[in-house]
Structure 1
Amino acid sequence: MEYPKSIQNRIKRVGGQVEGVKKMIVQGESGDKVMTQLQASISSLESLKTELIKQQMKESMVEDVKKSLGL
């Protein structure tokens, strides 16, 4: 499966957010700040998951249409 650039960009963004959480923990940031950033990372992962599901559904529908048309 080939993923669109938008999904590739989202995964990079999520990775950056997780790295930010890691850095905050290493630097001893307050728990509140870490939890806020962690929640943002979780929300980004959920959004990424939704986009991946949409992409898979779209590709599945295209394949079904092609099969039904004999393509």
Structure 2
Amino acid sequence: MLDGDATTGICNSSIVTFMEWNVMMWGLYLLLMFCYAPVFLGQDHPVTIVLAFVCFASSILMLKKELHIAAFSRY
């Protein structure tokens, strides 16, 4: 068994960071694939192009945020 109580609230920020990044990337990917579908908007639709730039910019901003995390664990 592990030492300590299970309700101490130990938070490993590396796991949180990984899941945050993973959920954001897959969410943006699914949004773009939905918009790129020819039956919905298509590849050349202005909304699809704007969404692609927004997704790219948000991924860059998220990477910048993740790189500024000082420590990824308590050790």
Identify the TM-score tier after normalising by the shorter chain: 0.5 to 0.7
- The alignment's TM-score, normalised by the length of structure 2, stands at 0.53
| Higher helix proportion (structure 1 or 2) | 1
Tell me the matched-pair count: 59
* 1:15–1:35 CA distance, 2 compared to 1 (3 A): same
Q: Which consecutive unaligned segments of at least 5 residues does structure 2 have? A: 1-13
C-alpha distance in 2 between matches for 1:31 and 1:52: 26
Fraction of identical pairs, as percent: 7
Q: Which consecutive unaligned segments of at least 5 residues does structure 1 have? A: 64-70
- The alignment's TM-score, normalised by the length of structure 1, stands at 0.55
| Partner of residue 53, structure 2 | 42
Runs of 4+ that moved beyond 3 A = 28-32
| Partner of residue 64, structure 2 | 53
| Partner of residue 7, structure 2 | none
CA contact (8 A) 1:17 1:37 kept: no
